[in-house]
Amino acid sequence: MERKFAIAIHGGAGSILKETLGPTLEGEYKNSLENSLVAASNILNKGGKAIDAVELAVEIMENDPLFNAGKGSVMTHDGEFELDASIMDGRNRMAGAVCGIRNIPNPIKVARMVMTHSEHVLLSGKGARRFAEKMGFERVEPDYFFTLERAKQLKAARKRDKILLDHSHDEKHGTVGAVALDMNGDLAAATSTGGLTNKKFGRVGDSPLLGAGTWAENKVCAVSCTGQGEAFIRSATAYELAARIKFAGLNLENAAYLAIHETINSLGLSGGLIAVDGFGNIAMPFNTIGMYRASLKQGEKPFIGMFKN
């Protein structure tokens, strides 16, 4: 049987409205999503691995200041940049993750190294950075992440003493992620974020947590979530979706729909996710106003969207 690859990416969910975004920014987001999608698809198209495709898709979005991850990360209450990321390989459920890592431009690459070059899954804070440095990652100064936009957001949030889930507009949840099925039938997922504007006390969301924000399991599905992280942790959302397929026999579309519109809704919280199964089906549900997202199934036209329809 000849298998076809499939890939989906997201750049965060929230109150993304055509009217407020404006045509210029809309075009920029479209370009950025397309860049990531095309580069990752090229890997898959050449018979490359799902795990390499999701890593690259996320790395490209981490390097893009438009998204709340890597370079575009929001600032903590103390004006720092503390980043989270995770990656999972569906072939063997190997996984790697970092939380609260500073001074490293691409946390997703460190997460991959945790998976391949350590006995652990999750490294945190200074220790995660020390691991990255040991692995040869270059350290950048906080300036690297600094943008006037993020500083303004922090100032506004501190004034209101509000912890923002947003990356540039209110109620927009900043995270990037990718899920892929390769021609070998293998699944992988990756997620990365700068967290919350004005976050305090070393808060960790769902993005670096396997089973919450990220999951990949061959023959079942690969999932990456975005939204109010606490809701996704309290629902084990990424794994819940997999469990509905594995144990309840649901198809991907129904399992993904319920994960958001039943489980996350039942907590009165919001977000979205992207998921792909072993057949190349793709689901991208969200209960927010919009979600930056793009997908491609081999031989079909790519989809790029951000609004409800």
Set 175, 191, 237, 288: catalytic member: 175
Instruction: Give the x/- contact pattern for a second copy in 229-258, rule: CB under 8 A.
Output: xx--xxxx--xx--xx-xxx----------
Nearest to 293 by CA among 24, 34, 4, 19: 34
Tokens 């995270």 appear where?
Answer: 175
Which range of residues in 147-155, 171-179, 201-209, 281-289 is near a second copy by CB under 8 A? 201-209
How far apart CA 129 and CA 110 sit, in angstroms, is 9
Shortest distance in whole angstroms from residue 42 CB to a second copy: 29
Which residues in the 204-233 window bind a second copy by CB under 8 A? 204-205, 209-212, 215, 229-230, 233
Nearer to a second copy, 36 or 198 (CB): 198
203 counts as binding a second copy under rule CB under 8 A: yes
Q: Which helix (H) or strand (E) holds 233?
A: helix 229-235
CB of 50 to a second copy, least distance (A): 17
Residue among 25, 163, 171, 279 that touches a second copy (CB under 8 A): 163
* Nearer CB in complex with a second copy: 31/266: 266
Q: Say how many Å lie between the first and final Cα of the chain, rounded.
A: 34
Q: Distance between CA atoms of 271 and 127, rounded to whole angstroms?
A: 30
Residue closer to a second copy by CB (options 132, 294) is 132
24 noted as active-site residue: no
The vertex-147 CA angle with 307 and 73, nearest 5°, equals 60
Q: What are phi and psi of 192, to 5 degrees?
A: -150, 145
Q: Which is nearer to a second copy, 247 or 299 (CB)?
A: 247
Only one of the segments 119-127, 150-158, 186-194, 277-285 lies at the binding site for a second copy (rule: CB under 8 A); that segment is 119-127
Q: What is the dihedral sign for C-alpha 219, 261, 211, 95?
A: positive
Contacts (CB under 8 A) with a second copy, residues 85-114: 93-95, 99-100
Tokens 């997460």 sit on residue: 111
CA pair distance 255, 244, nearest whole angstrom: 6
Q: Please tell me what DSSP assigns to residue 73.
A: P
Residues 179/183/186/191 CA torsion (nearest 10 deg):
-20
Number of residues that bind a second copy (CB under 8 A): 44
Q: Which residues bind a second copy (CB under 8 A)?
A: 93-95, 99-100, 118-128, 130-131, 163, 200-205, 209-212, 215, 229-230, 233-236, 239-240, 243-244, 246-248, 267
What residues are labeled active site?
Answer: 175
